[in-house]
Structure 1
Amino acid sequence: MILKVFKEKSNQKFINSLLSARRAAFSNSKVQTIGVLLNIEEYDDFESFRVYFKSLGLVSPKCKVVAFIDDEKKISNLWDTYFISKNFGWKGKILSVDLQSFINYEFDVLISYYKKDQLETNLITAMSKAKFKVGLSGLDERLYDLIIDVPINNFKTFKFELKKYLTVLRKL
C-alpha cells in the first residue's frame, strides 16, 4: 500500500515536469487523425465518437479510441482498446506496448473526454505526442490547448462546441 502511494507521487512528479516543459505548437494544418481518451466509468460509448468522426469526414484508421478501466472485472465486457493501472510503472513508465504506441502517435487532435481527476488518464494526456489537445473543464488546465466546459453526459453539446472551435481554428 505504501509503495502505491510512492508510485503515484513519482508519476505525479513526472506529469508536473512534462507540463512545465510543454510548449504549445500550433499549426494551420487540417485534422486528419484524432485520438480519444476515455474513463470508462464516466463515459463508455465508444461508438458515439466513431459516428461523430465519420460525420466530420474522418474514417476508422485515422481515429483511435482508448479507455481507462479502474475496475479490472469490467475488462471481459469490452471489445475495444483499454488500459488499467497495472500498465503504469514508476516515473511515467508505460508497461503496455499498445498504450505506448497510442502515446507516441502524433495525432492532429487528442480528445481527453473525462472529468475525473485520475492520475493515469492525466499521465497519458501529458505524455501524448498529439499536436493539439482538447479536454473538459475542471482538471489541470496545463494539460490542454482547448478546454470545453460541458457536462460529461452532454455529448451532443460537446460535438457542437468542438466542431465550432475546430472550424474557427481552421482545423476542419
Structure 2
Amino acid sequence: GNYYLKRELPKGKRNKQLVNLNTAKKVGIVYQLDDDKTYRLINNLVIFLQDKNIKVKALGYVKDKYLTQKYLPKMTYDFFYSKNLNWYNKPCGIYVKEFLNENFDIFIDLSLEEIYPIKYISGRTNAKLKVGRFDENNKEIFDLMFGVDNKTDLEKFISEITHYLTLINTQQDVKRN
C-alpha cells in the first residue's frame, strides 16, 4: 500500500500556506466512523467550523456498512466502505474522487492510528495546510502534526487541532493588526 501511495503523491504541485480557522474558507476532514460517539464528535466539529462560515466536506471511512444506515449522507458528509477499496486498499468510488478533486484551505486527518485508505486520501488531497497525527512516515504528507499516544482519544485530538488552528498567526492576520 505505502509503495503505491509514494508513487502517487503529488510532486511539488501543492501551494503550501499557513492558514488558520479565521482565514480558512474551506476545510476537508477525513476520519474512520466506528461508532455513534465518533459521529457525534465529527458532527460537533462540522457545526463549529460552519459557525465560522467555513464550508466543510467530511469523508468517513466505514468498515461496517450497517453503521451508516442511521447516518444518511448529507451535503457535508460522504462515506466510503471496504468494498470501495481496490486490491491494494486504494480507496475508489465517486465520493472519494469528488473529495480528491476539492481544493481545501485546511485538510484534517482525524485518524488516531495508521489506516491506509485514510492515509492514501491524506496524501492525495490538495490543501494549503494539511493537519494530522504525528508519525515519522507522515512527514511527506502533513504540514502540521500532533502527537498521539494511547491516552489520546478523538475528542482530545479534535480539541488540540482546533485550539492550535485558532492560534496560528498567518500573514493575513499580521497585516490586519
Check whether TM > 0.5.
yes
TM-score between the two structures when normalised by the length of structure 2? 0.74
Matched, 1:78 2:71: yes
Q: How many residues align?
A: 157
Q: Measure the CA separation in 2 of the matches of 1:124 and 1:102.
A: 9
* SS of residue in 2 equivalent to 1:156: helix
Is the Cα contact below 8 Å between 1:85 and 1:120 reproduced in 2?
Answer: no
1:4 corresponding residue in structure 2: none
Cα pair distance change 1:149/1:57, threshold 3 Å: farther
Correspondence list, 1:1-172, <5 A = 11-19=1-9, 21-22=11-12, 25-27=15-17, 30-41=23-34, 43-44=38-39, 45-58=41-54, 62-80=55-73, 81-90=78-87, 94-138=91-135, 140-149=138-147, 151=152, 152-154=154-156, 155-165=158-168, 168-170=169-171
Displacement of 1:24 in angstroms is 5.2
Please tell me the root mean square deviation across aligned C-alpha atoms, in Å.
2.7
Q: State the shift of 1:52 in Å.
A: 1.6
Question: Hey, which of these two has a bigger chunk of helix by percent?
Answer: 1
Gaps of 5+ in 1: 1-10
Contact persistence 2:111–2:133 (CA under 8 A): yes
Taking only the aligned residue pairs, the percentage that are identical comes to 17
When residues 96 and 66 of structure 1 are mapped into structure 2, their CA distance, relative to the original with a 3 A threshold, is: same
What is the alpha-carbon distance in structure 2 between the residues aligned to residue 27 and residue 108 of structure 1?
8
Give 1:87 deviation, angstroms: 1.4
Q: Quote the offset at 1:76 in angstroms.
A: 1.4
Q: Which shows bigger deviation, 20-29 or 132-141?
A: 20-29
Letter aligned with residue 73 of structure 1: Y
Q: Deviations over 1:73-125 (max 9, x none)?
A: 31313223111122122578653112101011111111111112111000111
Alignment TM-score, normalising by the size of structure 1: 0.76
Uncovered stretches (5+) of structure 2, i.e. residues with no partner: none
- In the alignment, the residues of structure 1 paired with residue 160 and residue 90 of structure 2 have an alpha-carbon distance, to the nearest angstrom, of 35
